[in-house]
Chain A
């Protein structure tokens, strides 16, 4: 992987535990600017915790996360909310909240006591809803949306934050195939057209390999290996990290490696 690309985020020797259980163990990871980084790994490997730690939702025991060479521990919550957006794994909002109300919440980190809401906020909300195709359902209530619509509304909320970095924690988990593709194509567009730095946690290794610029395998609270999907999708590495033996072939449509797991290793 070409490390000459400037790292917007640099995770440095980050250690984090819940009680006696070590979740992240002196983990280090550069996250290149303007690329899509996908975190993958077996259940409980610490990838979601890592994602949340990048947004400072967990306090590490040691180590730091640098954002443009600045320790995020020194930023206040709203300042960080203007620079890193995060879509939670299973976000929830009141059922009777409208889509527009939800998206407007994305402007919260930009609001201050004395100047609550301005033209810039309206523009950001409008752009976020247009970009995710939820503009025509702005008055719909959250409880009346389908899974795919709901996910787009939440992504619109994160987009309205206008952050350069967007983290998404398993954004396609509860979606059917068509909506999985919709969602990841949307994320790719945000990256390619707007140059946003994207960090994704994905369970599906083949989707990970298709959309990642940098693919990161997390195991036992450490980065096992990272690199371009072509370099990462090796049967020996997958067997070691995911505990399955797998055949790797090149997807004839996207020319990306895909893996066909065939038994527990």
Chain B
């Protein structure tokens, strides 16, 4: 067998593929359960038949108009943030890097809050189309990552420096967000605080549509750009000496990760730690393979956010607790675990 065939076989079969298929099965079950669960339980076979175009009128209404956008939004936002986290962990060569830790999530959130503050009128209605919201998130996210980069300066290749500046920028963005929430007239002000903590319950179809319009092209471009990730796994001198323009590539990957994060945060809010946990778990499950790593990260990110959303609907109903609080409660100890483990192995 040629090396090419071996490489291809290694990519498509073996433990990685089995793991991806198993996680895909969990994803499908959770997706159907997320749609089925609510004030009235809709059995999974009914959900499936509605999704395939059948079912009764009332079931169709509940599933397609009320439940599906929410579950889809959780899956898309979780997947996008996890994808961003995967790119950031690879390009910084550090498993602590994530959109949240690097300040991108809070930057995007600040962008959205500023947008809402500036473009709301006295009756708290938005004066511009809501489709501009992802643009505001993207501007916030890219400003945050650009600041982290500029502050790190010549040491932008040091993940620890980037992370430290990221944490600082995140704190500043969070503080500014709070200030603007207090002083600004905010469209749907009651919802804004919950949205900030990461909530998918208010999302409608047109917002899901906007998310997909933003995220699908960015995701495809990121997938193509990710082909150059393997040489970037090496130290700076080695990766540059085999011909990768690492300084430029690093900026491109940071911007793509910021855009993916912005597309998710624009409507799903500040869902914390998904971008940290999902790619890390993906690596544990499928190893270093790039394609399997990306697919697994997206699936796990979607599962985590869908699972968190389902959990709060089961545990806290009729109260609507933001899904982001659940991911943060799971994510923060995970982050501490990574931090301590890193400390003990790398000194």
For the complex, would chain A's binding face be called helix, strand, loop or mixed by DSSP majority?
Answer: mixed
> Is A252's beta carbon under 8 Å from chain B?
no
Please give me the residue from chain B that is nearest to A100 by CB atom.
Answer: B3
Q: How far is the CA of A204 from the CA of B31 in the complex (A)?
A: 64
Asked whether A122 and B4 contact (CB < 8 A) given A78-B243, A96-B287, A161-B242, the answer is yes
Please tell me which stretch of A22-30, A87-95, A178-186, A223-231 contacts chain B, meaning at least 4 of its Cβ atoms lie within 8 angstroms of it: A87-95
> Is A86's beta carbon under 8 Å from chain B?
yes
> Is B2's beta carbon under 8 Å from chain A?
yes
Q: How far is the CA of A157 from the CA of B238 in the complex (A)?
A: 10
In chain A, positions 85-110 with a C-beta closer than 8 Å to chain B are: 85-94, 96-97, 101, 105-106, 108-109
Q: How far is the CA of A88 from the CA of B233 in the complex (A)?
A: 14
- Contact in complex: A97, B233 (CB < 8 Å): yes
A135 to chain B, nearest CB (A): 12
> Is A47's beta carbon under 8 Å from chain B?
no
- Contact in complex: A88, B237 (CB < 8 Å): yes
Kindly supply a per-residue 1/0 record for chain A positions 134-161, scoring 1 wherever the CB is within 8 Å of any chain B CB and 0 otherwise.
0000000000000000000000010001
Q: How far is the CA of A78 from the CA of B7 in the complex (A)?
A: 23
B16 to chain A, nearest CB (A): 13
- Contact in complex: A77, B233 (CB < 8 Å): no
> Is B235's beta carbon under 8 Å from chain A?
yes
A161 / chain B contacts, CB cutoff of 8 Å: 242
- Contact in complex: A88, B241 (CB < 8 Å): yes
> Is B234's beta carbon under 8 Å from chain A?
yes
B249 to chain A, nearest CB (A): 10
- Contact in complex: A122, B242 (CB < 8 Å): no
Please give me the residue from chain B that is nearest to A85 by CB atom.
Answer: B241
- Contact in complex: B288, A101 (CB < 8 Å): yes
> Is A81's beta carbon under 8 Å from chain B?
yes
Asked whether A55 and B4 contact (CB < 8 A) given A92-B234, A108-B231, the answer is no
Please give me the residue from chain A that is nearest to B235 by CB atom.
Answer: A92
- Contact in complex: B241, A96 (CB < 8 Å): no
B241 to chain A, nearest CB (A): 4
A234 / chain B contacts, CB cutoff of 8 Å: none
B231 / chain A contacts, CB cutoff of 8 Å: 105, 108
- Contact in complex: A105, B4 (CB < 8 Å): no
A108 / chain B contacts, CB cutoff of 8 Å: 230-231, 242-244
Range for the number of chain B residues in contact with chain A: 20 to 34
- Contact in complex: A105, B240 (CB < 8 Å): no
Q: How far is the CA of A81 from the CA of B243 in the complex (A)?
A: 5
B250 / chain A contacts, CB cutoff of 8 Å: none
Q: How far is the CA of A92 from the CA of B332 in the complex (A)?
A: 30
Kindly supply a per-residue 1/0 record for chain A positions 41-61, scoring 1 wherever the CB is within 8 Å of any chain B CB and 0 otherwise.
000000000001001010000
> Is A125's beta carbon under 8 Å from chain B?
yes
A93 / chain B contacts, CB cutoff of 8 Å: 233-235, 238
- Contact in complex: B234, A81 (CB < 8 Å): no
Please give me the residue from chain A that is nearest to B243 by CB atom.
Answer: A81
> Is A80's beta carbon under 8 Å from chain B?
yes
Among candidates A77, A92, A125, A157, residue contacting B240 with C-beta atoms closer than 8 Å: A77
- Contact in complex: A94, B93 (CB < 8 Å): yes
A78 / chain B contacts, CB cutoff of 8 Å: 243
A79 / chain B contacts, CB cutoff of 8 Å: 243
Q: How far is the CA of A134 from the CA of B277 in the complex (A)?
A: 36
Please give me the residue from chain A that is nearest to B2 by CB atom.
Answer: A122
Asked whether A105 and B93 contact (CB < 8 A) given A86-B237, A88-B237, A94-B233, the answer is no
- Contact in complex: B234, A105 (CB < 8 Å): yes
- Contact in complex: A80, B288 (CB < 8 Å): no
B233 / chain A contacts, CB cutoff of 8 Å: 93-94, 97, 105
- Contact in complex: A91, B238 (CB < 8 Å): yes
B93 / chain A contacts, CB cutoff of 8 Å: 94
Among candidates B4, B230, B235, B245, residue contacting A88 with C-beta atoms closer than 8 Å: B235
Among candidates B4, B230, B240, B288, residue contacting A57 with C-beta atoms closer than 8 Å: B240
A81 / chain B contacts, CB cutoff of 8 Å: 241-243
12 CB contacts below 8 A, A to B, read A87-B238, A89-B237, A92-B234, A93-B234, A93-B238, A101-B288, A105-B231, A105-B242, A108-B242, A122-B2, A122-B3, A126-B3
List 10 A-B pairs, minimum CB-CB distance, nearest first: A81-B243, A109-B243, A88-B237, A78-B243, A86-B241, A92-B235, A77-B243, A108-B242, A122-B3, A91-B238
Binding site for B on A (CB under 8 A): 52, 55, 57, 77-82, 84-94, 96-97, 101, 105-106, 108-109, 117, 122, 125-126, 157, 161
Binding site for A on B (CB under 8 A): 2-4, 7, 93, 230-231, 233-235, 237-238, 240-245, 287-288
